[in-house]
Amino acid sequence: MTLLDVENLHVYYGQIHALKGITLHVDPGEIVTLIGANGAGKSTTLKTISGLLRPREGRITLSGQDLAALPAHEVVAKGVVQVPEGRRIFGQLTVHENLSMGAYTRTERDGIDGDLERIFTLFPRLKERRAQVAGTLSGGEQQMLAIGRALMSQPKVLLLDEPSMGLAPVLVEQIFETITGINQLGTTVLLVEQNAYMALQIAQRGYVLQTGEIALSGSAKDLQANVEVRKAYLGG
């Protein structure tokens, strides 16, 4: 039984046909990665799933429930939350305030406090800096905060848009480890990455996006072995 199902998605920016019939699915408990070159339409796919963009055609369902017609805030309430590209944290607010903002859709006090603790175990660095203004965090810490904030809404599916962008290699590794950790705690992950090598290491399955279309799909192992993929994304 699939959790998130996307069928024949067509998205336009005015005249520009950005997504030309994307079909993909994510099963419960999986990490699925979406890789592709700049401008392939990866961010567009995520934004459409999370309701920030409207598809002209196609279906998006979460456990059979239609998402395509819902506004973004209701998609979050249904359990799909996106960590936007480029770590858009609330720079003037503290770490703690950023995290509380993530729990906006929830009202039960105890659960929120519990999750806060869980996120602090996941990211001990954030715990030390809970009263610090988020804008003064390092790049890696900001990415952790953005992920933590999204987790505060208790998503069933976490959509990550290039979490490794602009980070030093050590931090990239750390972030990917964390994503695996989050997944093991029960959150399903759809991961958009340019760093195909790392993404395919932690994902079970992957899709290769090319100019708005799915060019290839399969298990992470198969994709890693695929000659085309090796040539285009894995540097050999």
Partner 1 sequence: MEPAAKTARGVWRSVVQTGALWGAGAIFLALVGLVEAVSHRQIVAGVLSLAYALLLLAGLGAGTQVSRRWAGRAAWQRIVGGALAGALVGVAVELLVVIGRSVNLRIMLINASPPLYEILSFGRGLGGVPLMMLAQTGAGAIGAAAPLLPPWFRRPVIAGLSMAFVIGLFQDLVQLMLQSGVRAGLRSLLFTGDGLALHGAVLLFVFAAGLSVLRARYRAPAGRWAVGLPPQRRRVLRWITMGAVVAAILILPWVAGLFISQVLVLVGLYTLMGLGLNLEVGFAGLLDLGFVAFFAIGAYTVGLLTTTGPLAVAHLAWWTVVPIATVVSLIAGVFFGLPILRIRGDYLAIATLGFGEIIRLLVLSDFLRPWLGGSQGVLGIPRPVLVGLEFRGPQQLIYLTVVASALVAFVAARLRDSRLGRAWMAVREDEDVAEALGINTVNVKLLAYGIGGAFAGVSGAIFAVMLGSVFPHSFNVLISINVLALIIVGGMGSLPGVMVGSLALVGLPELLREFSDFRFLVYGAVLIVMMQLRPEGLWPTAVARRELHDGAQAPAVPGHAVELAGAKEGDG
List residues binding partner 1 (CB under 8 A).
50, 52, 71-73, 76-77, 81-82, 84, 88-94, 96-97, 100-102, 104-105, 107, 128-133, 136, 149-150, 153
Q: 102: Cβ–Cβ under 8 A, 6 or more apart, which residues?
A: 148, 149, 150, 151, 152, 153
Minimal distance, residue 60 CB to partner 1, in Å: 16
Please, are residues 105 and 150 in contact by the beta-carbon 8 Å criterion?
no
13: contact with ligand ATP by CB under 6 A? yes
Please, are residues 155 and 186 in contact by the beta-carbon 8 Å criterion?
no
- Other CB atoms closer than 10 Å to residue 210's CB: what's the count? 15
* Residue ranges in 67-126 that form contacts with Mg ion under rule CB under 5 A: 85
Q: Which is nearer to Mg ion, 16 or 170 (CB)?
A: 16
Please, are residues 155 and 79 in contact by the beta-carbon 8 Å criterion?
yes
22: contact with ligand ATP by CB under 6 A? no
Q: Please select the residue that binds ligand ATP; options are 23, 154, 194, 217, rule is CB under 6 A.
A: 194
Q: Report what 101 binds from Mg ion, partner 1, ligand ATP, none; CB cut-off 5-8 Å by kind.
A: partner 1
Please, are residues 18 and 41 in contact by the beta-carbon 8 Å criterion?
yes
Query: 144, 162, 158: which is closest to 34 by C-alpha?
Result: 162
* Residue ranges in 30-49 that form contacts with ligand ATP under rule CB under 6 A: 36, 38-44
Q: Which residues partner with 66 through β-bridges?
A: 61
226: contact with Mg ion by CB under 5 A? no
Interface with ligand ATP by CB under 6 A: which residues?
13, 16, 18, 36, 38-44, 194
